Copies of this chain bind each other. A is one copy, B any other.
Amino acid sequence: MKCSKCGKKAVFHRKYEGSYLCRNHFVKSIESKAKKTIRKGKMIERGDRIAFALSGGKDSSAVLYLVNKVLGERKDLEFFAISIDEGIPRYRKESLKIAGKLCKKLGIKHHVFSFRKEFGEDLSEKVRKIRKSDAWEGTACTYCGLARRWLLNKKARELGANKIAFGMNLDDEIQGIVMDYLRGDLVRLSRMGGEPIVRNELFVPRIKPFREIPEKEIGLYAILIGLEIHEDECPYLEGPRFRVRDFLNDLEAESPGTKFSVLKTFEKLLPSVRGIVKKESVRIVKCSECGEPSSQRVCKTCELWGK
């Protein structure tokens, strides 16, 4: 097939738009979509110092590459990257190497922090030690996600960032929305919007420039711009999110555009969700153990990781 814009050989068929795109127009369309999302959500503003959460996977690598490409020349903005070493044998070592290489290539400062150093143990040790005990809650992702977010937020703040950029794509966003809905977690749902939310001076607001771009397209973008990507799946991955993912993929295959529709419906409901949450409002305090922000006296990270 030929590119709907220029007639050159198409590399991608964007079904929900009914268009075919050549390499060049595909790359351009991703970059202009991300720019639009950034503008619409007021994600990046004059004077921002942005920490990129960089795992070395396609999404976080691509978002660093893209934002640096389109805004890297701006003198009033500052970008650096933070990677977290959870201590997942092989898996993370490989991806950290790739993350480091990308930062070097782009001239971006790269900070690496580890669970071992911060919490005294690796994720793999933690899982081995308590998975079969009564203390075990949820899945490995519960322990990892919690500690990773805690560490990213703390380090980004200490390094002077006023925003953290994540690689989350449209698929990640709507999976999260559906999961929060299924769990009835309106508080989390209320934070799933497009603009950075200032909750408290201890929380660094998050931005997700790819939240309106399907995962598949970010994958192709990363390939087309020649990024070296760490493609393995985390060996600990488990839980209902994967059912949600498959379900949404099936529906999208059947009716192209469903994924956008889920995000759009959510955005219509978001002001109301926020209204409901505000009424039940959650107070943020400093955790009495670690001093990081928490909705309880002792934060969940200290509870599960014994900080």
CB neighbours (8 Å) of A271 from chain B are 272
CB neighbours (8 Å) of A262 from chain B are 181-182, 184
Q: How many identical subunits does the complex contain?
A: 2
In the docked arrangement, what's the CA distance between A53 and B61, Å? 57
Which of B184, B255, B269 lies in contact with A261, CB distance below 8 A? B184
Interface size class of A (residues with CB under 8 A): 20 to 34
Task: Say yes or no for A131: interface residue by CB 8 A criterion.
Answer: no
In the docked arrangement, what's the CA distance between A243 and B244, Å? 11
CB neighbours (8 Å) of A181 from chain B are 262, 265
CB neighbours (8 Å) of A244 from chain B are 247
Which residues of A, 263-301, contact B by the 8 Å Cβ criterion? 264-265, 268-269, 271-273, 275-276
In the docked arrangement, what's the CA distance between A265 and B183, Å? 8
Q: How far is the CB of A220 from chain B (nearest CB, A)?
A: 25
Task: Say yes or no for A112: interface residue by CB 8 A criterion.
Answer: no
Task: Say yes or no for A186: interface residue by CB 8 A criterion.
Answer: yes
Task: Say yes or no for A251: interface residue by CB 8 A criterion.
Answer: yes
Chain A 240-270 against B: per-residue CB contact (8 Å), 1 yes, 0 no?
1001100100110011001001101100110
Of all chain B residues, the one with the shortest Cβ separation from A270 is B272
Q: How far is the CB of A246 from chain B (nearest CB, A)?
A: 8
Q: Could you give 24 example pairs across A and B, Cβ below 8 Å?
A: A181-B262, A181-B265, A182-B251, A182-B262, A183-B261, A184-B262, A184-B264, A184-B265, A184-B268, A240-B251, A240-B254, A240-B255, A243-B247, A243-B250, A243-B251, A243-B254, A247-B247, A269-B269, A269-B272, A269-B273, A269-B276, A271-B272, A272-B275, A272-B276
Closest 3 CB pairs of A and B: A272-B272, A184-B265, A247-B247
In the docked arrangement, what's the CA distance between A254 and B139, Å? 13
In the docked arrangement, what's the CA distance between A265 and B206, Å? 26
Which residues of A, 190-218, contact B by the 8 Å Cβ criterion? none
In the docked arrangement, what's the CA distance between A281 and B42, Å? 31
Q: How far is the CB of A283 from chain B (nearest CB, A)?
A: 20
CB neighbours (8 Å) of A273 from chain B are 269, 272
Chain A 93-121 against B: per-residue CB contact (8 Å), 1 yes, 0 no?
00000000000000000000000000000
Q: How far is the CB of A273 from chain B (nearest CB, A)?
A: 7
In the docked arrangement, what's the CA distance between A271 and B271, Å? 13
